């Protein structure tokens, strides 16, 4: 499809008729069907690709998010961007996260996500602190522009029947999550994930439990707390301090996708080295199957995360960072 065609074609308002033909998890609103507490794999750019999402799903993640995808790039038919949204049905429910600054691009991207990608939900990134994204007027800077944020959310709600969720920060400059959510409380937002760190704190630092708890008054749908979950103790603490319906797990799943099974099954038994190596190989084979050799190159960072904490981690890392095939990984791990 030419970019021009995409940009100028009319935005229709879809009928609800086609929902009858959709599988279970495609039915709106999947968020209500999830068992609580909900353990979600949080979106992570360069990390939460289909291979990693499938592994996390297999270990008990209830819902998985894509990495953030540019709404504008989707509208311009960027094949690289469209590839980021592809998923396997095993990942359902699967949420595509969009970032951008133009409501009309979100409208079109949402329709593509719903009709062509067939994701189960659409999330909007209002929390990314990265300068490159901020320069486009997207991500966390939108928390300081509620009017435009509302237009973006409405553009998606009015152009798809998929459940719309948002991911925000506890604070962006002088705007708190409460300042942001209050004027949006009338919108049909099905889920809100609040990363309990301010924009200034980026991905580390203390998590503001209080603000997540207070946000409940403005959230009609599912409330997910996010930040700092590394194990069952930190997960339980975040849930109890915030009263959230679930949690988003980011860095705690890096090299440890089995964290979900430990949370879901409430099983804190340490995983054996042998089991870790089996998971690594499964992940690597999947990455290669889905992306070919570039999948293995991208896999290198995962390999380093997987072996961190093992007794010979440093020497393993030095070898794993150079691998170019599944065979090489297998030899090193043996």
Ligand X SMILES: Cc1cc2nc3c(=O)[nH]c(=O)nc-3n(C[C@H](O)[C@H](O)[C@H](O)COP(=O)(O)O)c2cc1C
Catalytic positions: 128
Residue nearer to ligand X on the CB measure, 303 or 333? 303
Shortest reach from residue 8's CB to ligand X, in Å: 29
Shortest reach from residue 203's CB to ligand X, in Å: 5
Shortest reach from residue 72's CB to ligand X, in Å: 15
Shortest reach from residue 156's CB to ligand X, in Å: 16
Which residues contact ligand X by CB under 6 A? 42-47, 67-68, 97, 125, 127-128, 167, 195, 203, 226-229, 249-252
Q: Please check whether residue 159 is in contact with residue 184, taking contact to mean a CB–CB distance below 8 angstroms.
A: no
Residue nearer to ligand X on the CB measure, 69 or 276? 69
Q: Residues 6 or more apart from 117 whose CB is under 8 A from it?
A: 82, 85, 86, 87, 96
Shortest reach from residue 257's CB to ligand X, in Å: 13
Shortest reach from residue 207's CB to ligand X, in Å: 8
Residue nearer to ligand X on the CB measure, 50 or 97? 97
Residue nearer to ligand X on the CB measure, 111 or 167? 167
The strand pair at 175-176 and 164-172 is best described as antiparallel
Residue nearer to ligand X on the CB measure, 52 or 277? 52
Q: What is the 3-state secondary structure (H, E, C) of the chain?
A: CCHHHHHHCCCCCCCCHHHHHCCHHHCCCHHHHCCCCEEEECCCCCCCCHHHHHHHHHCCCCEEECCCEEHHHHHCCCHHHHHHCCCCHHHCCEEEEEECCCHHHHHHHHHHHHHHHCCCEEEEEECCCCHHHHCCCCHHHHHHCHHHHHHHHHHHHCCCCCCEEEEEEEEECCEEHHHHHHHHCCCCCCEEEEEEEECCCCCCCCCCHHHHHHHHHHCCCEEEEECCCCCHHHHHHHHHHHCCCEEEECHHHCCCCCHHHHHHCCCCCCCCHHHHHHHHHHHHHHHHHHHCHHHHHHHHHHHHHHHCCCCCHHHHHHHHCCCCCHHHHHHHHC
Residue nearer to ligand X on the CB measure, 30 or 39? 39
């Amino acid at each position: 499809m030419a970019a021009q065609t995409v940009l100028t074609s009319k935005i229709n308002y879809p009928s609800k008729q086609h929902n009858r033909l959709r599988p279970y998890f495609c039915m709106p609103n999947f968020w209500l069907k999830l068992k609580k507490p909900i353990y979600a794999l949080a979106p992570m750019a360069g990390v939460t690709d289909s291979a990693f999402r499938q592994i996390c799903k297999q270990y008990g993640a209830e819902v998985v998010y894509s990495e953030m995808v540019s709404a504008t790039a989707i509208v311009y038919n960027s094949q690289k961007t469209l590839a980021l949204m592809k998923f396997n049905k095993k990942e359902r429910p699967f949420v595509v996260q969009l970032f951008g600054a133009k409501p009309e691009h979100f409208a079109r991207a949402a329709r593509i996500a719903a009709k062509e990608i067939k994701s189960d939900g659409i999330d909007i990134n209002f929390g990314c602190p990265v300068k490159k994204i901020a320069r486009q007027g997207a991500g966390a800077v939108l928390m300081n522009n509620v009017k435009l944020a509302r237009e973006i959310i409405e553009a998606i709600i009015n152009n798809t029947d998929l459940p719309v969720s948002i991911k925000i920060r506890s604070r962006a400059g002088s705007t708190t999550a409460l300042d942001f959510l209050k004027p949006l409380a009338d919108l049909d937002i099905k889920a809100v994930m609040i990363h309990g760190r301010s924009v200034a704190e980026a991905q580390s630092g203390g998590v503001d439990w209080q603000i997540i708890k207070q946000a409940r008054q403005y959230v009609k749908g599912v409330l997910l707390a996010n930040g700092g979950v590394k194990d069952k103790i930190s997960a339980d603490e975040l849930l109890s301090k915030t009263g959230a319906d679930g949690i988003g797990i980011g860095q705690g799943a890096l090299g440890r996708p089995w964290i979900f099974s430990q949370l879901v099954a409430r099983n804190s038994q340490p995983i054996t080295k042998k089991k870790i190596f089996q998971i690594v190989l499964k992940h690597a084979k999947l990455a290669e199957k889905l992306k070919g050799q570039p999948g293995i190159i991208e896999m290198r960072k995962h390999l380093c995360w997987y072996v961190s904490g093992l007794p010979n981690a440093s020497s393993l890392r030095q070898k794993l960072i150079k691998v170019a095939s599944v065979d090489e990984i297998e030899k090193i791990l043996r």
